[in-house]
Amino acid sequence: MPSDTLGRPLRNLRISVTDRCNMRCRYCMPEAEYVWLPRESILTFEELDRLTGIFASLGIRKIRLTGGEPLLRHDLASLVRRLARHQDIQDIALTTNGILLARAAEALHAAGLRRVTVSLDTLRPERMVAFARSARHGDVLEGIAAAKAAGFASVKLNTVLIRGYNDDELLDLLEFARATGAEIRFIEYMDVGGATQWDMGKVVPQREILDAVAARHGQVTPLREHDWAPAERFSLEDGTVFGVIASTTAPFCRTCDRARLTADGTLLLCLYGENGLDMRELLRLGASDEEIAGRIGGVWSARADRGAEARAALADRGVLHQIASLRADPRREMHTRGG
């Protein structure tokens, strides 16, 4: 089982199953046009199944399916069913915008998916139209309800807070999550690839989030868990638990055990990583499982990435990539590498 140069094990894999999306969130896909990955370059379910076996032999225990919008991938439940057959994979989760979740939830659960995270940035349909170019807010709410009804072990909500857009809904979203029985995590706006409109002034920092919650609800107690998860969790006096993912102001690279696979099979060691290992070529040129495992182990052992910490250390922090560099290599996009 490889550890990297900072002693971080390889335990979590995020798989982007498609770069396509049916929303256009302004913090992720603000442009009018995109360069899409060629269809034939997208890894097949057979290829993902095989890679999962290889990753499991190297220590991967948790998989999160993401994208783009993963539910745009035809018959995602059959991929889940295949991945769930790998005995060493203890947990399969999904991050989705929820638009297509209502009709998929039961089949996904039956296939072995145990945890679902739905992104929900606003409770106001008109804001979703303006900010994410989608009029399907009602479908997202139905998706959340269907996930709760399907009996997943965990249904969580992800909210990216943006100053001047939805920061005034923080407490309403927290209340919605409490009433729904879904743990919410507030995410700081990150300067990842794709976020071409990012600036520090639009980031709502963790400190401000906690202060606003405390002003309404009283004592906010950190649950000191010391695990490898990105969210820091907090509880309120009534037992409500919520999380904050402070990737921008308080990055947590030192405990990062996550690798990412882009939809076309590039293995990235960091969300901010520039170069990756081309797994598709290895698969399609006939490399053996042992060879592929050796290559993955090699790059992970040499890993020194601390992308968010390096960004936080910059004196003058602007956007990570301009449009031209995203167009030159769409793997730099958040929706291609998987958030």
Which residues neighbour 85 within 8 Å (Cβ) at sequence distance 6 or greater? none
Q: Which long-range contacts (CB under 8 A, 24 or more apart) does 199-203 make?
A: 199/318, 199/319, 200/248, 200/317, 201/163, 202/162, 202/163, 202/164, 202/165, 203/163, 203/248, 203/249
The option from ligand SAM, ligand SF4, none interacting with 264 (CB < 5 to 8 A, set by class) reads: none
* Residue among 95, 122, 166, 262 that touches ligand SAM (CB under 6 A): 95
Contact between residue 180 and residue 135 where contact means Cβ atoms under 8 Å apart = no
User: Which tokens hold the place of 123?
Assistant: 């409770």
Rule CB under 6 A: say whether 271 interacts with ligand SF4: yes
What is the rounded CA–CA span in Å between residue 259 and residue 305?
11
Report DSSP state, residue 264: T
What tokens were used for 97? 């915008």
Binding residue for ligand SF4, selected from 2, 112, 252, 329, defined by CB under 6 A = 252
Among the listed residues 256, 329, 295, the one whose alpha carbon sits nearest the alpha carbon of residue 14:
256
Among 108, 177, 192, 268, binds ligand SAM (CB under 6 A): 192
**Rounded Cα gap, residues 134 and 220, in angstroms:** 34
Residue 143 beta carbon to ligand SF4: minimum distance, rounded to whole angstroms:
12
**Inter-residue contact 62 to 13 (CB < 8 Å):** yes
Residue 15 binds ligand SAM (CB under 6 A): no
Residues near ligand SAM (CB under 6 A), total:
20
Choose one: 182-190, 207-215, 229-237, 260-268; the region binding ligand SAM (CB under 6 A): 182-190
Q: At a CB cut-off of 8 Å and minimum separation 6, what does 106 contact? A: 146, 150
Residues in region 55-114 near ligand SF4 by CB under 6 A: 67-69, 97
Q: Is 100 in the site for ligand SAM (CB under 6 A)?
A: no
Distance between CA 79 and CA 35 in Å, rounded?
A: 26
CB of 120 to ligand SAM, least distance (A): 9
> Which position among 66, 134, 262, 266 is part of the footprint of ligand SAM (CB under 6 A)?
66
Smallest distance from ligand SAM to CB 89, Å: 20
Token digits of residue 324: 């031209």
Question: Considering only CA atoms, which of 149, 17, 33, 4 is closest in space to residue 78?
Answer: 17
Site string for ligand SF4, 280-309 (x = CB under 6 A): -------------------------xxxx-
Q: Which stretch binds ligand SF4 (CB under 6 A): 9-17, 163-171, 253-261, 316-324?
A: 253-261
| Residue of closest CB approach to ligand SAM | 339
256 binds, among ligand SF4, ligand SAM, none (CB under 5 to 8 A by kind): ligand SF4
Binders of ligand SAM in range 219-258 (CB under 6 A) = none
Q: How far is the CB of 237 from ligand SF4 (least distance, A)?
A: 31
Distance CA 99, CA 22 (A): 8
Residue ranges in contact with ligand SF4 by CB under 6 A: 21, 23-25, 28-29, 67-69, 97, 119, 251-253, 256, 258, 270-272, 305-308, 335
Which residues contact ligand SAM (rule: CB under 6 A)?
Answer: 21, 27-28, 66-67, 69, 95-97, 119, 158, 160, 187, 189-190, 192, 195, 334-335, 339
